[in-house]
Every structure is written in C-alpha cells, then in structure tokens.
Structure 1
C-alpha cells in the first residue's frame, strides 16, 4: 500500500505545480487581444549636402537696401547703418561714399550730389543688378534677361564697347546702365536718377 500512496501523493503534487501555468496563460491571451500603438514613421534625415539659398540682392531701381535714391546724405548714411568712407572736396557738389571694406571706390560706391543720394556704381561680380545682370556676363546674356527693353549705344571711350540701358518704367524715375567692353563683356553697371546716372565720368 505504501508505494501506491506515494505515487498518488506525487501525482497530486505535480498537478498543484502545473496549475499556475494555466493561470499564467491568461495575461498572454489578454496582451494579445490588446491593440498595440503603431510606431510612428521615421522622420526623413535632413540632406546636409543641399546647397543653401543664395543671398538676396540688395540692388533695386529704388536704391540699395534701405538706402533710397533721392534721400539726403544723412538719411542714406543712417540707412546704411555702417561706416562709409569718402567726403566731398572743397568747392564740389558731387562725391562718392563707399563701405570701409571696399579697397577701390570703382568696385562699389554711392554717388552723392547736391546733398542727395542719386546713384550707385558697381564694378564687381558679387553684386546682382535689378533683373539679374552681373559684371562678367556677355551682352547676349543681358539681352536674354532684359529682352527688347535693353537699349544699346556706343561707348564714349572704349572702341567697340557699348552702354546698355533699361528704364525702370513705372517702378521709379531711375535707370540701369551696363557698360560692356569690345569683347562684349559687362565691366560695370550703375543705377540712378537722371541726369546723374548718365554721367560717364562719374563725379569728375
């Protein structure tokens, strides 16, 4: 009888140990029936190789940046906000002002006459004229940009060169004039009021 009792006891113990396993199955069933939140789609990585947007041109038919053609010298200086070199010579009514970082006024300067800001001159390719023209462009490229509105006349000093001008029209009483050499390349441009924008020699 003893062996039979021992076997029965062992079977009873095994059943008691296996019972919790059945109870443990319920949480798994519950978890399986609970909706799982969707994993959000990954955010696309930023392309660091994309070229940054170029700087916006400050040149316009109205002036340069906050400097408005027709304003007083004091207003123009205040609008520039930085240091400007240049001063009128005694007995003259026309002179140029230019940023301190410019080594040659012929590269970039503002014309003042009779106490007014009347024109600005550009001789470098870092600046873009109203409409997209730049120093270094060909006459053909200018014609594509400005079309039939661009008027050409012979250059006063450069044989084979020319002036190419365009009026601002209803935008302002100003004009844009490009100078091109004999090879048909733009060497400088200027924007200003009349008659100052027509001064071939600048303030000379």
Structure 2
C-alpha cells in the first residue's frame, strides 16, 4: 500500500514525539521531612560583662570589684581584710570597712549586709576615676570637666572652700538619694580646694561617718 506524503509526515511526527517523551516518574520536589530526633541548636549565650580597668575607678567599681557583688566574691577577687586587727565598721555583720589584701594601695571597701556598696580612695592611692581625676586634683578642674553633671554640697566638718562634689552616673539627684540602683562618684574637697578622698558606688557614697 502506498503511503501518501502527508500521512508519512504525520507518522514521523508521532514517532519523534514518542522518542522525546520521558516516561520516568517526576522527582519529588518536596523538602525532606525534618529529623525529629536531632537535638535543637543551642541558644547563644548572653555576653558577660568584663571587669573594669584595674587602675580606673567608676561608679560601678574598680577592676574585678563591682558594686553590688557579695562579700565572698569580693574576697575571692581581692582577698580578705589585710589588717584584721584594725577598726572597721561598728557592726561588721551589718557594715564593715577594710582594705582587701590584694586591692590597690590606698583603696578600702564598704560592705553592707554582705554586699559591696562603696569603694574609697584615700591616703596614698594612685588610682584615677574614669574622668582622669585622683587625689590632689582641684575642685575647679573637676567642675570644669563635669560641667552641669556635678553638684556641690557643703562639707560636714570643714569650712568652705571645702565641699563634696557629687557626679551621679545614674539614679542620682541634688537631694539625698535612697534608690539602691543609683551609682555615682563623690569627690571630697578639702580647705585647700583639692581632692582628699574619692568614694564610688551606690547611695552609701553620701555617708560621712562610716556606715551612718
């Protein structure tokens, strides 16, 4: 039987289509089911605050000594009382003041109810505050550096120009501060107009007779 040209062309097209067809099943594009037995990824750990500089006093502390830490932690960092026979607080269980054995020279701490509340620079301390001031610096220089962030109160025991200069980092005011979360620095200025002592910490920096 003779196949007409048109029919022949149709047959060829059918054969080509059959040859190009892929009868394999399509790949499953769905993502694989999660492995419910796998352990969850650990959550990132919270950053740990690094200790401050060993020679820089801030409202929050000095080196590893941080305001608010326990007495046990302070002793672990700086050692126990270097002069256990010296007079400290009137009631050591409630309030104690001492120089830790490994603390910088001229540095004393105040412990109230088992917590570090104040760090004091006195005598031969060569530590500076975070604004660069230490014992012997002038009240004028401090006032110029802090500007409106420092305020003055009369010194309790000495006549002017003796005064107390308060620079609160947070929670402070010109009135008596009682907020335990407040932190600041107090510069005690003597009659010569120079820094005689520096206190840093919580509202205890306002105390003038030990823990009272």
TM normalised by structure 2 equals 0.60
Q: 1:200 aligns to what? A: 208
Q: 2:127 aligns to what? A: 127
Residues 143 and 90 (structure 1), Cα distance of their counterparts in 2 relative to 1, 3 Å cut: closer
Instruction: State how far apart, in whole Å, the 2-side matches of 1:89 and 1:183 are.
Output: 29
Instruction: State how far apart, in whole Å, the 2-side matches of 1:183 and 1:58 are.
Output: 25
Instruction: State how far apart, in whole Å, the 2-side matches of 1:186 and 1:147 are.
Output: 17
1:162-181 CA-to-partner distances (Å, cap 9, x unmatched) read 000100128x7211000111
Q: Is the 8 A contact 2:54 2:62 kept in 1?
A: no
1:104-138 CA-to-partner distances (Å, cap 9, x unmatched) read 9xx32011010101101101351101211111011
Residues 167 and 185 (structure 1), Cα distance of their counterparts in 2 relative to 1, 3 Å cut: same
Q: Could you tell me how far 1:57 is from its partner in structure 2? A: 2.5
In the alignment, structure 1 residue 182 sits paired with structure 2 residue 191: yes
Instruction: State how far apart, in whole Å, the 1-side matches of 2:74 and 2:205 are.
Output: 17
Q: Is the 8 A contact 2:90 2:96 kept in 1?
A: no
Equivalent residues in 2 for 1:1-204, closer than 5 Å: 57-80=55-78, 82-85=79-82, 91-92=91-92, 93-100=94-101, 107-123=106-122, 124-160=124-160, 161-169=162-170, 173-194=182-203, 196-203=204-211
RMSD in angstroms over aligned alpha carbons?
2.6
Residues 157 and 75 (structure 1), Cα distance of their counterparts in 2 relative to 1, 3 Å cut: same
> Gaps (5+ residues) in structure 2?
1-52, 172-180
Q: Secondary structure in 2 aligned to 1:70?
A: coil
Instruction: State how far apart, in whole Å, the 2-side matches of 1:108 and 1:128 are.
Output: 11
Structure number with larger C-alpha Rg: 1
Instruction: State how far apart, in whole Å, the 2-side matches of 1:202 and 1:174 are.
Output: 18
> Gaps (5+ residues) in structure 1?
1-54
Q: Could you tell me how far 1:183 is from its partner in structure 2? A: 1.9
Q: Secondary structure in 2 aligned to 1:140?
A: helix
Q: Secondary structure in 1 aligned to 2:99?
A: strand
Q: Could you tell me how far 1:56 is from its partner in structure 2? A: 6.2
Residues 78 and 125 (structure 1), Cα distance of their counterparts in 2 relative to 1, 3 Å cut: closer
Q: Is the 8 A contact 2:133 2:142 kept in 1?
A: yes
TM normalised by structure 1 equals 0.62
Aligned residues between the structures? 144
Q: Is the 8 A contact 1:94 1:112 kept in 2?
A: yes
